[in-house]
Structure 1
Amino acid sequence: MRLWRRAVQTARLLIGVPDYDTYVEHMRLHHPERPVMSYEEFFNERMRARYRGGGGRCC
C-alpha cells in the first residue's frame, strides 16, 4: 500500500496536481498551531502559486 501511495504522489507531481494528503500531514506535523485549508482552498492556492511563478513553500 505504501508503494502505491508513493506512485500516486509521484504521478500527481508529474502532471501538476497538488497532493492534499501530503499537505495535511505536513501541516499537522510541522505547523499544528496553523489551520489546515480545505481541499478547495488548497487547490486554488497551489494553482495561483504555480501560475504566478512563485514556489509557495513554507519550509
Structure 2
Amino acid sequence: MSLKALWRGLADTGRLMVGVPSYQAYCAHMAEAHPDRPVLSATAFFRDRQQARYGGRGGGRCC
C-alpha cells in the first residue's frame, strides 16, 4: 500500500468519525447503483449531508 493510499484511508476514517461522509464513495455509489440520476457537486453533497444531519434542529442549538 502506498503512502498516499494509506493517508486517504486515514482521512476517510477521520471524516466518518466526525460525521462527514466521503464524496468519492458517494460518486462511486451513484455511478454503480443509480447511473440514471445526476450526481451532486461536492458543495451540494456537503450541504445535503449537513442538512440531513442538522436540519431538524432550529437555531443551531443541540438542546
Please give the range of the TM-score, normalised by the shorter of the 2 chains: 0.7 to 0.9
TM-score by length of 1: 0.74
Q: Count how many residue pairs are aligned between Structure 1 and Structure 2.
A: 53
TM-score by length of 2: 0.70
- Identity percentage of aligned residues: 49
Stretches of structure 2 lacking an aligned partner (at least 5 in a row): 57-63
Stretches of structure 1 lacking an aligned partner (at least 5 in a row): 54-59
The residue aligned with 1:19 is 22
Once residues 9 and 31 of structure 1 are traced to their aligned partners in structure 2, the CA distance between those partners, rounded to angstroms, is 23
Once residues 37 and 43 of structure 1 are traced to their aligned partners in structure 2, the CA distance between those partners, rounded to angstroms, is 9
Counting helix residues as a fraction of each chain, which structure ranks higher?
Answer: 1
Partner of 2:35, secondary structure, is coil
Root mean square deviation of aligned Cα:
1.6
